[in-house]
Structure 1
Amino acid sequence: MGLVLAAVAVVAGVLLTRGGSRPPRVALPLHAAKEISLPGDSSRFDYASLDPDRGLLFIAHLGASRVIEVDVHAGRVVRTIDGLSGVHGVLVVPALHRVYATATDANQVVAIDEATGTVLHRSPTGDYPDGLAYDPVHGTVWTTNESGGSETVVDAATGAARGTVPLGGEAGNVAYDPTTRQMLVDVQTRNELAVIDPTTLRITRRLPLPGCDHDHGLILAPTDRMAFIACDGNARLLTVDLTTWHITGTDQVGDDPDVLAYDPAAGHLFVASESGWVTTADNHDRHLTITGRAHLAADAHVVAVDPTTHLSYYPVPHGPGGHPALLAYRPGP
């Protein structure tokens, strides 16, 4: 593990959104904490998911068709889990001691033992499975089939099929709302948010998202009854009130926003973009304020945050030494 002593460097330059506007650059309130070398080649990474109690971060190395397991407390790679063709989504469910990953090229969702890395079962999905969510009440894993335009629902314990929910458009990300016990999913080619009853597997609400082009990213702040939606077509971040179902805020982020992470203890939101720009925001009294927006690193489009240490993590194909690395940052003024 190499220790990065310098603070985050803000790269000068101009970033244009698809809409042609220029996002104001705001220095990121982040300071480099450490760098962990990752194995494999410098191909694309995708989602990452953290078990904060065990300090285990699972990273989808899409280009290598493997999941990398990292002990972030010890600063070392624990193992690699191979044979996950075109892996995109990854989700650890600590209560089950399991990790779920979407083998996109095989149209499968794969269950993995968190402690051993053993593949437990593989379940068929629709076309191009991507993001994942877990419903603890029904004991199911939900997979967004992006080009298939549907949600595949499987039994988290056995991998048996529970059903399919057609969305009527391409699927973005999916999230479980523990307050209402409903599933929320982006329907990115319709620019809307769909609400699904997980008992009946029926869509109960479609919320139009004016001002959003291609809603892909999604994360919730359930206690505050808020949803944050990233629109990768026009680099916008929408805030939705989950009580009134009104859009309460629209902010500009880096070009092609992808993965979002939220620290509920600190109220910090992170939006990582394909352009390598990261946007940070603070949630105070259900109001979101942008605190930073700048280039972090090339291909830094994936982020995970630890709610206990408040460190944020970014796997990148080319770290400071030119090799794959996991970059960790601590928040600060």
Structure 2
Amino acid sequence: MTTPFLRRRAVITIAAALLAAAGIALGLVLTRSQNPPRVDLPLQQVESLTLPGDSSRFDYASLDADRGLLFIAHLGAGEVIEVDTRSNQVVRTIPDLSSVHGVLAVPSLHRVFATATGANELATIDEDTGQVLRRSPTGDFPDGLAYDPAHGTVWTTNESGGSETVVDAATGAVRGTVKVGDEAGNNAYDPASGQILVAAQGSNELAVIDPVSLTVTRRVPLPGCDHDHGLTLAPDDRIAFVACDGNARLLTLDLTTWQVTGTDEVGQDPDVLAYDSAAHRLYVAAESGWVTVLDNQARHLTVTGRAHLADGAHVVAVDPVTHRTYYPVPHRDGGHPALLTMTATH
């Protein structure tokens, strides 16, 4: 889900390493590779489920909490893995989803949506059977997903295309495209305002879109953020959380004043965010394998844990009923991919 930026970072890293070998800019390289101070995670592992497929990259995961079904995008294998979290068993794999990145379960529709990034498509999947019902064209490099229940649309973030594709959730017809900038990060539906929010990562802004006119109505600057990619909301508190993968910062944004009200350090290359509305707890999973846990009290975040969980643990999903969190990782026992299930210790 951060592939273009990771390629850019790889070039920077190689160049920096050459300079460091010559004794130039060594301090910069060391600073960039450091993680923030460690704080013990308030998490305990309760399950480890071996997953099918090879030990390639995973991407987003989405949970239908009512049915206890977790859908995991196995990017490297081009398939979605469905897991029954109550029995801790794999239900099925859904193949032929080229370089699948985003996955989003919409329980009210009994549908799962997935971005087949390698084909620039949005796949609509029957949640009951795992059958791919239809495929809709998107922009370049479709990544994250949001669902607008008021208008019955699914929004795909086209990362390198810098746009949003709007798809009718019932028919798969493309309703329109909205340009947000040079690059687009994650998106989210705000139920209070009925607007779509998008991390315009190429300009370090949050783009606010009217879903009726399909136009950007506001651009919110994000001071202190380098390359905003991750995004999730605490809708009841009218705040948004934005992860900046260029400088490992998490911003808290007031959705009534459009002002940044807080900044926290997280693990290097933060990626996926998951918010437990019932527990008022935010999880930030990073490419570095670090997970940061933050508690939301009176619309202010406090870091309650921040440490390395597992290599490749850059994806997290949370169950708002059991408060368990789920982390698919490419290498675990015996080198096989696995799903780690964690419970909160406090």
Which TM-score band applies after superposition, normalised by the shorter structure? over 0.9
Residue 191 (structure 2) aligns with: 178
Q: Provide the rounded CA distance (Å) in 2 between the counterparts of 1:74 and 1:221.
A: 29
**8 A contact 1:17–1:254 mirrored in 2:** no
8 A contact 1:270–1:278 mirrored in 2? yes
Query: Aligned residue for 1:293?
Result: 306
Report the Cα distance in structure 1 between the residues aligned to 2:129 and 2:188, rounded to whole angstroms: 27
Distance 1:140 1:299 in 2: 32
Q: What residue is the counterpart of 2:100 in the other structure?
A: 87
| Correspondence list, 1:71-86, <5 A | 71-86=84-99
| Distance of aligned partners of 1:97 and 1:275 in 2 relative to their CA distance in 1, 3 Å threshold | same
Is the CA contact (8 Å cut-off) linking 1:16 and 1:255 kept in structure 2?
no
Cα deviation, residue 22, structure 1: 4.6
The number of aligned residues is: 318
Question: Alpha-carbon deviation of 1:191?
Answer: 0.2
Distance 1:191 1:277 in 2: 23
Could you tell me which of 162, 183, 186 is aligned with 2:175? 162
Q: Give the partner amino acid of 2:268.
A: D
- Shifted more, 210-219 versus 315-324: the winner is 315-324
- 1:138 Cα deviation after fit: 0.4
Any idea what the Cα deviations from partners look like across 1:26-84, whole Å, max 9, x if unmatched? 01000111111100100000000000000000000000000000000010000000000
Structure 2 match to 1:127:
140
Q: Give the aligned partner of residue 105 of structure 1.
A: 118
Runs of 4+ in 1 over 4 A off after TM superposition: none
Determine what percentage of the aligned residue pairs are the same residue.
73
Aligned-pair CA distance for 1:285:
1.1
Runs (5+) with no aligned partner, structure 1: 1-14
SS of equivalent to 1:298:
coil
Name the structure 2 match of 1:23. 36
Map 1:1-333 onto structure 2 (within 5 A). Answer: 18=32, 22-333=35-346
Q: Distance in 2 between matches of 1:135 and 1:165?
A: 15
Tell me the TM-score normalised to structure 1 length: 0.94
Separation in structure 2 between the aligned mates of residue 265 and residue 320 of structure 1, nearest angstrom? 32
Quote how far apart the aligned CAs of 1:320 are: 3.2
Distance 1:99 1:330 in 2: 26
Q: Counterpart amino acid of 1:40?
A: G
AA aligned to 2:128 is A
Alpha-carbon distance in structure 2 between the residues aligned to 1:187 and 1:75: 37
Aligned partners of 2:104 and 2:145 also within 8 Å: yes
| Preserved contact between residue 69 and residue 82 of structure 2 (Cα < 8 Å) | yes
Native 8 Å contact 1:23 1:252 kept in 2? yes
* Residues 48, 91 of structure 1: 8 Å contact kept: yes
Give distance in 1, aligned partners of 2:52 and 2:96.
16
Q: Is the 8 A contact 2:35 2:268 kept in 1?
A: no
Q: What are the Cα deviations for residues 201-250 of structure 1, in whole angstroms up to 9, with x where unaligned?
A: 01111000010000000000000001000000000000001111110000
Q: Counterpart of 1:156 in structure 2: which amino acid? A: A
Match of 1:4 in 2: none
The answer to whether the Cα contact below 8 Å between 1:16 and 1:22 also exists between their aligned partners in 2 is no
Q: What's the secondary structure of 1:321's corresponding residue?
A: helix
Check the 8 A contact 1:16/1:23 in 2, yes or no.
Answer: no
For 2:245 and 2:335, how far apart are their aligned partners in 1?
27
Which runs of 5 or more structure 2 residues have no equivalent in the other structure? 1-28
- Determine which structure has the larger helix proportion and give its number: 2
SS in 2 for 1:53: coil
Q: Distance in 1 between matches of 2:237 and 2:201?
A: 24
Corresponding letter in the other structure for 1:85: S
Q: Which amino acid aligns with 2:103?
A: V
CA distance in 1, matches of 2:258, 2:30: 30
Partner Cα separation in structure 1 for residue 330 and residue 102 of structure 2:
17
Q: Is the 8 A contact 1:17 1:255 kept in 2?
A: no
